[in-house]
């Protein structure tokens, strides 16, 4: 884990303490009582308002008479409900998509009182609720009108504070009730889970109460509340005890504040350390690797092994030590590194030869280019069926077509103090009124509308719809941006200089208060060109050292949000041709440049190193794009101002970091850092400076080798204890990954795909598109709900897990709900590439589609049932010579057979590369390809006995009837796992013993993506 994160976490916890003990304010909750914020759904301090102090900002409303905030001897100020019909109600989307719920809080029951503590559900026949009286605290879960579990305590005290907690844990099938930090009652064999009591598609149907029951007219609670929290994880006994103790203690315990691995959520007891395949291996020959002085060698993740039967190959995974500096390569010479093959005693050696670099290296050229979105259309498959790609596209296209752009403009108009069109409601989720990330969804929306416009060439009405929306959005944003830094009325005061923005009128300093009536709207003081969905304060506060949190002195991630907006504007220009969008981006780019130019380098290093607060998405990328689109070199210089020194270069002297192949990924927040890499690559495109290219390629190699799960995503760390972070050390997914809060943040995979395709443009090797295919089919395609546009945040890969889908109505966004709009309006963008000189066509992905290659006046139709068949057919319409390079996937180890115009070609092909089919093509020429699928395992990097089962490109998940507390055991044939699996390749439905396997992207219920493998 990086020192920086420890510091950030410590600061956050300390400032929380200060808030709780001394001032009744909101605190940052990144690590609260040792639990990362990804586990926290909402937190109501109830010190002087009913706001949710978590980043989700699910603010409650108080109803009825008699609810008030009162002085309290123990907790200073608390919420009092008088029992006269008053209660608190949480927003209907608070538990959207949740599966597991824990509720914890402080309750003070007035003498003689009895009644509802909380009641979450839709009606009396569908709810999780708790009641309290002197005779006890009782939690119940009811579905379909039947009580599924009940857990009750003995008597509880009146007229004093009692800590309560309720845990509904579907994995263990228990409902537990806690009183004062100790388990007081438990129901077992509870089959209900949170999804059963929540209406995911109609938030209005959900009724989440504190102090009130689902039964209208029933008595409300006479009592007091303090610090009520809702978690999406099953709190453990120690966690509940810690929450209770910390609130009473003078200071929080240091333990568990993100340091050290949390225990695994799933039992690992049954799984041996030794690989069940170890006995087959003989040895792994030593290897030799070259490097240059000052740069760590790039060691292969897999090495050809020799087996007991003298077979050479296949490769085995080797884990090499990963130094944190470059002392081992400080001078020319040679040295030896010892690696290990996980699950075996084999220790291969690498002989490293360190050379003095000779001459200067030539930067690689961008030899391949993507086609415009409008040049490629998704088609039905060869059997006439809609493909999963088309289905997901259409869920989003129809949602976007029906969306109201004014909802996405609401917070922009609000920031500039402008009236709203009648009837417009603001967005919810991370884009609600008080969320300091507001505007981020609007940026994704701009990109998505531009892409939908470009992609819907098949439907003129849709195109017209999207063009109208785009122009309306851009016109409105343009008008707002033109107000910034100019007098409200002629002759009035104004500040045009972005570096001279004063605090809001009547304020001592800058703050992030966005509440209605409190937000500053003096746009004339904001500097020329400024555009955002909030005033400039958060940018200025970041420069002055503000940290991430929900207090008015804290910020979220201003440059992250700005990146989304600028990317949306540039997409509107580049993808859909809107010139005004470029002008808005140029103005705001100039504003950001002016501010950052005035900030000393060491301050910038501190800003970009600050957890979440300094998260800037791909600001370097949009700045480098602005340079490319405008020719103004100052924007390229601005891109460099976003260099994350520690991450990229190790230190200010540039002695390490990714540029020198030192792994600086460890423990970092995944999605904070991945876009910085695509930004480095775009900066390389503009500058031709090799370190930026090395940063991107080294990062890609490290992430793919040592940080990745089988679906092609990353993060989900137990160490550091944050599901959004990369694991603390490379190659330790088993040791440090599989967090209970989830893995594989979907926006992170969106960004990894972007990196794949951008690297491919420089280097047309198979590996980039191998990852692209894996993550596209098994994560992006798998991240959308079955019947609507709901989509995933984290994708959980623990056994018996279930995907959670949110934002079906496109009205409340997390980061991942934002990137989902983009992913699903550009699903066709990497099927084909062309060489920059238009001499070569690359066929990267096997997806039914039609390419219109206008430069060559050639159309290529791909006709296939893939992956429900292992064949594809290309039909070429048009004339002329060009090379056709077809990807031979890494998994195609059973042959790759090509026919041109019906005649077999005798070709030698290598999995993980491209086969070249150059000729002068004639109309209706056909290329038929067959690439027999096989079953294979993709094991956890440091635990070979836990693996995912693949069939060709498709990850097969095991269906589960319920949640699990262990890893799904399966027994496979030791030499050919396919012998143990039966089923139908045409439907991709298989059986392994009595376990049903099917594509993960078609799985919506409980499943195991990883299984515990034994062999026979
Ligand atoms: Zn995300």
CA of 793 to the centre of ligand 1 (A): 6
CA of 669 to the centre of ligand 1 (A): 11
pTM score = 0.90
Q: Which residue has the higher pLDDT, 248 or 344?
A: 344
**Rounded mean pLDDT of 690-707?**
98
Cα-to-centroid distance, 814 and ligand 1 (Å): 6
Q: List, for residues 429-469, the tens digit of each pLDDT value.
A: 899 999 999 999 999 999 999 999 999 999 999 999 999 99
Distance 205 CA to ligand 1 centre (A): 26
**% of the chain at pLDDT higher than 90:** 86
Tell me the C-alpha distance between 736 and 732, whole Å. Answer: 6
Does residue 993 have a pLDDT over 80? yes
Asked whether the beta carbons of 945 and 343 are under 8 A apart, the reply is yes
| For range 165-183, the mean pLDDT | 94
pLDDT range class, residue 261, cuts 50, 70, 90:
low
CB 959 within 8 A of CB 977: no
Distance (angstroms) between ligand 1 centre and the Cα of 63 equals 34
From 315, 272, 276, select the one nearest 973 (Cα to Cα).
276
Please state, in angstroms and rounded to a whole number, the distance separating the CA atoms of residues 430 and 57: 7
Amino acid 337: pLDDT: 97
Distance 193 CA to ligand 1 centre (A): 24
Burial (CB count within 10 angstroms: exposed 0-12, middle 13-18, buried 19+), residue 309: exposed
Measured between alpha carbons, how far is 347 from 790 in angstroms, rounded to an integer?
47
Greatest alpha-carbon pair distance for the chain in Å reads 91
What's the chain's Rg over C-alpha atoms?
A: 29
Residue 672 C-alpha to ligand 1 middle, in angstroms?
Answer: 10
CA of 667 to the centre of ligand 1 (A): 17
pLDDT exceeds cutoff 60 at 254: no
Q: Which of 225, 230, 160, 155 is nearest to 198 (CA)?
A: 230
Q: How far is the CA of 795 from the centre of ligand 1 (A)?
A: 10
Q: What is the pLDDT of residues 923-980, one digit of tens each?
A: 999 999 999 999 999 999 999 999 999 999 999 999 999 889 999 999 999 989 999 9
Using CA atoms, how far apart are residues 236 and 182, in angstroms rounded to an integer?
11
476 CA from centroid of ligand 1 (Å): 28
Calpha distance 915→899 (Å, rounded) = 12
Judged against a pLDDT cut of 60, whether residue 251 lies above it is answered with no
Q: Report the separation in Å between the CA atom of 745 and the middle of ligand 1, taken as the mean of its atom positions.
A: 5
Say yes or no to pLDDT of 228 above 60: yes
C-alpha 760 – ligand 1 centre gap (Å)? 24
Q: What is the mean pLDDT of the chain?
A: 93
Distance between CA atoms of 416 and 407, rounded to whole angstroms?
15
CA distance 824 to 193: 30
Q: How far apart are CA 151 and CA 139, in angstroms?
A: 5
How many angstroms separate the CA atoms of 811 and 817, rounded?
10
| H/E element, 243 | helix 237-248
CA of 74 to the centre of ligand 1 (A): 38
Strands 302-307 and 312-317: antiparallel
Task: Say if strands 969-972 and 1011-1015 run parallel, antiparallel, or are unpaired.
Answer: parallel
**CB-based neighbours (< 5 A) of ligand 1, an ion:** 745, 747, 815-816
Q: What is the pLDDT of residues 622-677, one digit of tens each?
A: 999 999 999 999 999 999 999 999 999 999 999 999 999 999 999 999 999 999 99
- CA dist 140 and 155 (Å) reads 17
State the pLDDT at residue 137.
96
As a whole number, mean pLDDT of residues 340-363 equals 95
Asked if pLDDT for residue 276 goes beyond 90, the answer is yes
The confidence score (pLDDT) of residue 29 equals 52
Distance 389 CA to ligand 1 centre (A): 21
Quick: pLDDT tens for 879-907: 999 999 999 999 999 999 999 999 999 99
* 128-147 pLDDT per residue, tens: 999 999 999 999 999 999 99
CB within 8 Å of 613: residues ≥ 6 apart = 542, 546, 547, 548, 554, 555, 556, 557, 607
Bridging pattern class, strands 61-63 and 31-32: unpaired
* DSSP-assigned letters across all residues of 632-700: -HHHHHHHHTT--HHHHHSSTT--SSGGGT----TT-BHHHHHHHHHHHHHHHHHH--HHHHHHHHHHH
Backbone φ and ψ for 986, nearest 5 degrees, come out as -75, -20
The rounded Å distance from CA 786 to ligand 1 centre is 20
Nearest to 639 by CA among 584, 581, 684: 684
Please indicate whether residue 334 or residue 24 has the higher confidence score (pLDDT). 334
Q: What are the tens digits of pLDDT across the range 858-879?
A: 999 999 999 999 999 999 999 9
Report CA(165)–ligand 1 centroid distance (Å): 29
* pLDDT, tens digit, 9 for 90 and up, residues 465-494: 999 999 999 999 999 999 999 999 999 999
SS3 802: coil
């Amino acid at each position: 884990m990086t020192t920086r994160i420890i510091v950030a976490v410590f600061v956050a916890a300390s400032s929380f303490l200060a808030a709780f003990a001394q001032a009744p304010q909101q605190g940052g909750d990144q690590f609260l009582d040792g639990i990362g914020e990804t586990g926290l759904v909402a937190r109501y301090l109830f010190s002087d308002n009913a706001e949710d102090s978590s980043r989700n900002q699910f603010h409650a409303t108080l109803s009825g008479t008699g609810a008030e905030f009162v002085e309290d001897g123990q907790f200073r100020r608390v919420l009092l409900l008088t029992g006269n019909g008053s209660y608190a109600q949480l927003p209907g989307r608070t538990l959207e998509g949740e599966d597991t719920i824990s509720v914890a809080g402080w309750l003070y029951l007035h003498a003689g009182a009895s009644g509802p503590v909380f009641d979450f559900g839709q009606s009396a026949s569908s709810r999780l609720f708790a009641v309290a009286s002197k005779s006890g605290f009782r939690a119940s879960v009811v579905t379909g009108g039947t009580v599924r579990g009940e857990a009750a305590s003995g008597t509880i005290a009146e007229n004093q504070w009692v800590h309560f907690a309720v845990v509904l844990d579907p994995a263990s099938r228990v409902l537990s009730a806690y009183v004062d930090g100790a388990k007081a009652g438990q129901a077992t064999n509870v089959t209900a889970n949170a999804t059963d009591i929540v209406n995911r598609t109609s938030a209005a149907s959900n009724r989440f109460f504190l102090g009130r029951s689902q039964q209208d007219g029933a008595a409300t609670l006479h009592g007091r509340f303090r610090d009520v929290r809702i978690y999406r994880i099953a709190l453990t006994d120690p966690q509940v005890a810690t929450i209770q103790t910390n609130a009473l203690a003078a200071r929080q315990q240091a333990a568990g504040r993100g340091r050290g691995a949390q225990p695994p959520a799933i039992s690992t007891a049954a799984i041996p350390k030794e690989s069940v395949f170890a006995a087959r291996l003989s040895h792994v020959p030593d290897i030799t690797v070259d490097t240059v002085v000052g740069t760590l060698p790039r060691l292969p993740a897999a090495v050809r092994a020799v087996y007991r039967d003298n077979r050479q190959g296949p490769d085995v995974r080797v884990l090499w030590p990963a130094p944190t500096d470059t002392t081992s390569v400080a001078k020319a010479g040679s040295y030896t590194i010892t690696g290990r093959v996980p699950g075996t005693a084999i220790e291969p050696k690498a002989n490293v030869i360190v050379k003095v670099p000779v001459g200067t290296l030539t930067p690689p050229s961008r030899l391949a280019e993507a086609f415009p979105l409008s040049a490629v259309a998704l088609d039905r498959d060869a059997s006439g069926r809609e493909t999963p790609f088309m289905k997901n596209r259409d869920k989003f296209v129809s949602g976007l077509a029906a969306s109201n752009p004014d909802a996405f403009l609401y917070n922009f108009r609000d920031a500039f103090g402008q009236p709203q069109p009648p009837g417009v409601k603001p967005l919810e989720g991370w884009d609600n009124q008080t969320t300091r990330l507001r505007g981020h969804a609007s940026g994704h929306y701009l990109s998505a509308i531009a892409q939908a416009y470009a992609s819907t060439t098949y439907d003129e009405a849709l195109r017209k719809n999207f063009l109208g929306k785009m122009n309306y959005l851009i016109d409105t944003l343009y008008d707002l941006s033109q107000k910034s830094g100019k007098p409200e009325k002629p002759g009035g005061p104004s500040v045009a200089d972005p570096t001279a923005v004063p605090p809001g009128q009547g304020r001592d300093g800058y703050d992030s208060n966005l509440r209605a009536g409190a937000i500053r709207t003096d746009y004339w003081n904001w500097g020329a060109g400024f555009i955002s969905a909030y005033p400039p304060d958060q940018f200025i506060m970041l420069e002055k050292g503000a940290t991430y949190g929900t207090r008015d002195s804290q910020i979220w991630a201003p440059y992250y949000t700005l990146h989304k907006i600028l990317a949306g504007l540039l997409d509107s220009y580049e993808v859909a041709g809107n010139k005004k969008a470029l002008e808005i981006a140029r103005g705001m780019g100039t504003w950001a440049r002016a501010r950052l130019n005035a900030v000393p380098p060491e301050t910038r290093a501190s800003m970009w190193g600050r957890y979440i607060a300094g998260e800037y998405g791909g600001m370097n990328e949009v700045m480098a794009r602005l340079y490319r689109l405008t020719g103004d070199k100052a924007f390229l210089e601005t891109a460099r101002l976003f260099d994350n020194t520690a991450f990229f270069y190790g230190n200010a002297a540039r002695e390490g970091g990714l540029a020198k192949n030192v792994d600086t990924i460890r423990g970092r927040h995944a999605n904070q850092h991945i876009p910085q890499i695509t930004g480095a690559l775009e900066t390389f495109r503009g500058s031709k400076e090799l370190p930026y290219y090395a940063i991107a390629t080294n990062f890609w190699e490290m992430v793919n080798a040592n940080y990745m799960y089988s679906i092609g995503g990353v993060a989900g760390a137990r160490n550091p204890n944050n599901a959004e972070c990369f694991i603390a050390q490379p190659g330790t997914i088993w040791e440090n990954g599989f967090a209970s809060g989830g893995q594989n943040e979907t926006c992170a995979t969106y960004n990894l795909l972007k990196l794949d395709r951008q690297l491919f443009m420089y280097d047309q090797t198979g590996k980039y598109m191998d990852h692209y295919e894996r993550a596209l089919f098994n994560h992006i395609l798998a991240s959308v709900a079955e019947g609507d546009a709901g989509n995933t945040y984290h994708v959980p890969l623990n056994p018996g897990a279930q995907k959670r889908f949110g934002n079906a109505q496109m009205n409340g966004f997390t980061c991942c709900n934002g990137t989902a709009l983009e992913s699903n309006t550009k699903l066709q963008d990497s099927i084909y590439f062309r060489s920059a000189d238009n001499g070569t066509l690359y066929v990267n992905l096997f997806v039914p589609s039609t390419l219109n290659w206008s430069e060559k006046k050639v159309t290529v139709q791909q006709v296939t049932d893939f992956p429900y068949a292992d064949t594809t057919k290309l039909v070429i319409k048009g004339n002329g010579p060009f090379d056709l390079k077809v990807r031979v996937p890494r998994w195609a180890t059973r042959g790759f057979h090509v026919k041109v115009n019906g005649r077999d070609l005798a070709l030698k092909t290598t999995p993980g590369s491209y086969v070249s089919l150059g000729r002068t093509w004639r109309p209706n020429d056909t290329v038929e390809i067959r690439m027999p699928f096989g079953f294979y395992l993709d094991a956890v990097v440091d635990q070979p006995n836990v693996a995912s089962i693949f069939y060709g490109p498709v990850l097969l998940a095991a269906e589960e009837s319920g949640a699990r507390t262990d890893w799904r055991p399966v027994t496979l044939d030791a030499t050919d796992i396919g012998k143990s699996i039966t089923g139908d390749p045409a439907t991709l439905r298989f059986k392994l013993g009595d376990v049903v396997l099917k594509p993960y992207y078609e799985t919506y219920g409980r499943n195991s993506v990883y299984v515990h493998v034994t062999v026979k």
